[in-house]
Structure 1
Amino acid sequence: MVERIPMTRNGHEKLRQELNQLQRVERPRIIQAIETAREHGDLKENAEYHAAKERQSHVEGRIMELKDKLSRSEVIDCSALDCERVVFGVVVTLVDLDTDDEIRYQLLGPEEASVEDGSISVLSPLGRAMIGKSVGDEVVVKTPGGIRQFEVMEISPPEAG
């Protein structure tokens, strides 16, 4: 069975755009750089040629990776989410029961999650612990630093955009 990768429509589109950029812009640019480097003669000691071939290998690997992820992606429409429970796509406001700090994360798939951007993966320890919880529920999660306890304060739909 193929493992599906959950993602938002926006996340799916970003991967498609990156794939398009690599295939239509980067790949031809690298092919041209290789041809130019070949014209300089001896390939054994041609740093430009070796650098271009290395870049080509990296780009071709990323193209294969993106094609695989896109083929396994499951686009989830987050526009009509039920915000009674924590599910993929919602924005959850938590309070740390030890520090009283408030944190807010959108639950996304591993391909889109970025703590810096205010999102975490549904597959992360905290993400897994939150799934199915309601406002007022306690979330207990084991972290490398020990057991952390939170309370779900709010569950809201994602901001548009």
Structure 2
Amino acid sequence: MAEKTYPMTAEGKKKLEAELKELKLVKRPEVINRIKVARSFGDLSENSEYDAAKDEQSHLEDRIKQVEEMLKYADVVDADSVDPNEVSIGKTITFTEVGESDSESYTIVGSDESDPLSGKISNDSPIAKALIGHKKGETVSISTPGGKFDVVINDVKAE
């Protein structure tokens, strides 16, 4: 059975590598130190500082495993290797909903890089899934939880 891959941009991979380094070299030692200090307070059965530090350690270790997995199976998408007019991860797409005059622009990124407030949408989002593989000038139907609508792809740019 093939392992799950994690599509991402080169920038997204660099950010994950930096996060992993921070988690292992900074955060992990801080949490270990907090556990040591909390242990020194004595009775662990009623030691909320100890419990909180152990919970934080558990979350931290889970995130380290998750990031290591994502990096191990990273599928870095090179937007420049795809047809310049074709929608793919790593490209910024400008489109207009049919019947509307205002256009919208989004950069399609891997799911861990997603930040809709800054215009970066996950390749797993309904909009990105519908647009990927289509080209500038095409009309595409997009189904979202809020309903179905058609858009015209106005521009496709590699970032």
User: One fold, TM greater than 0.5?
Assistant: yes
User: Could you tell me which amino acid in structure 1 is paired with residue 107 of structure 2?
Assistant: Q
Give me the identity figure in percent. Answer: 36
RMSD: 1.4
Give the equivalent residue in structure 2 for 1:58: 59
Q: Pairwise mapping of residues 64-75 of structure 1 onto structure 2 (< 5 A)? A: 64-75=65-76
- Report the CA distance between 1:3 and its aligned residue: 1.5
For residues 122-155 of structure 1, give each alpha carbon's deviation from its aligned partner in whole angstroms, at most 9, with x where no partner exists: 2221112112222221011112222111101111
Give the equivalent residue in structure 1 for 2:93: 92
TM-score (ref. length: structure 1): 0.91
Structure richer in helix, relative to its length: 2
Contact 2:28–2:60 (CA<8 Å) still a contact in 1? Answer: yes
Structure 1: 4+ residue segments shifted above 4 A: none
Give the equivalent residue in structure 2 for 1:14: 15
- Report the CA distance between 1:77 and its aligned residue: 2.6
TM-score (ref. length: structure 2): 0.92
Give the equivalent residue in structure 2 for 1:143: 144
Structure 1 unaligned blocks of 5 or more: none
Give the equivalent residue in structure 1 for 2:117: 116
User: Could you tell me which amino acid in structure 2 is paired with residue 11 of structure 1?
Assistant: G
Contact 1:83–1:90 (CA<8 Å) still a contact in 2? Answer: no
For residues 24-69 of structure 1, give each alpha carbon's deviation from its aligned partner in whole angstroms, at most 9, with x where no partner exists: 1111111111111111111111111111111111111111111111
How many pairs were matched up? 158
Contact 2:9–2:89 (CA<8 Å) still a contact in 1? Answer: no
Contact 1:94–1:154 (CA<8 Å) still a contact in 2? Answer: yes
User: Could you tell me which amino acid in structure 2 is paired with residue 44 of structure 1?
Assistant: S
